[in-house]
Amino acid sequence: CRCCAEGRRHSSILYSILRSQERAVPPAGPAPRGCPCGSRRRVALRSPQVACKAASAVLVKTLRFVQNVPCFQELPLEEQLLLVRSCWAPLLLLGLAQDRVHLETVESAEPSMLQRILTARQQGEQPPPRAPAPGRPPHGPHLPLAGDIQAIKGFLAKCWSLDISTKEYAYLKGTVLFNPDLPGLQCTQYIEGLQREAQQALNEHVRLIHRGDEARFAKLNVVLSLLRSINANVVAELFFRPIIGAVNMDDMLLEMLCAKL
């Protein structure tokens, strides 16, 4: 049908754009394993201005890439925004992995619940009420949990350990961008065809370049699984709250998507 033909024609243009991304850098070593008992600690970026600036640059680059995809441009604006709202965080993390952006974090100086109770008892005060778990604290900075940050670091380390190539990153981004399972989409068959072609292109590339590694395609799909386990709100709090404050990502994405980046 005409829709499928257009999908094939534009997807070839899509991947010619995707393949022009920046060259890879030698892989870094795996992230150190942390003690699981400390996953509830609050952590912050060691150098928030540096990390947030790098993340902002990657986000701008990511949305510029999205805007330059012809088959994406042909979708109605409502569909474009729906896709971007759902995938901006995984696309950003793929971009951070590709650009080798390392995260250095420090434990929050905020006293633990035990410390607050002991201090209050020494001063003859009532102990503070137990904070609701696993939600965020009602007052103070909304710092991510150490477990959430470890998930992001683990994803980055997985990408670097696989030494993912520019083409493989491109096909992974295409798979993430064109998600036909989102509620409210109208062009589901068209989007599903683009996602299927991205996966097929990735599989063919892996079989051609990595003939001795039959499990590589499955390993790259594990990367996608790790992405799905990372909360977009954590990404927003980690990279944008320190410099922007309480940010509405939907409003920011709409403004950036409609702008000429």
| E-state strands within the chain | 43-45, 105-107
pLDDT for residue 18: 52
CATH number corresponding to 42-107+142-259: 1.10.565.10
Instruction: Give the count of beta carbons closer than 10 Å to the beta carbon of residue 234.
Output: 18
Candidates 94, 48, 87, 44; CA nearest to 191 is 87
Element (H, E) at 118: helix 113-122
For the chain, report the end-to-end CA distance as a whole number of angstroms: 34
Domains of the chain, by residue range, sit at: 42-107+142-259
* pTM for the full predicted model: 0.73
DSSP state of 38: G
Instruction: Give the count of beta carbons closer than 10 Å to the beta carbon of residue 200.
Output: 11
pLDDT for residue 119: 56
Give bridge partners of residue 106 from the DSSP assignment: 44
Instruction: Give the count of beta carbons closer than 10 Å to the beta carbon of residue 143.
Output: 23
pLDDT for residue 49: 83
pLDDT for residue 67: 86
Backbone angles phi, psi at 105, to 5 degrees: -120, 160
- Mutual orientation of helices 77-98 and 249-258 as an angle, nearest 10°? 100
Candidates 55, 64, 150, 154; CA nearest to 99 is 55
Instruction: Give the count of beta carbons closer than 10 Å to the beta carbon of residue 54.
Output: 18
- Give pLDDT tens digits along the chain (261 positions): 544 444 455 555 454 445 444 443 334 444 445 444 455 677 777 777 888 889 999 999 999 888 888 889 889 989 999 999 999 999 999 999 999 998 888 876 555 555 556 555 555 555 444 443 433 333 334 677 888 889 999 999 999 999 999 999 999 999 999 999 999 999 999 999 999 999 999 999 999 999 989 899 999 999 999 999 999 989 988 888 776 766 677 777 878 877 755
pLDDT for residue 220: 96
Q: Check: CB of residue 102 under 8 Å from CB of residue 50.
A: no
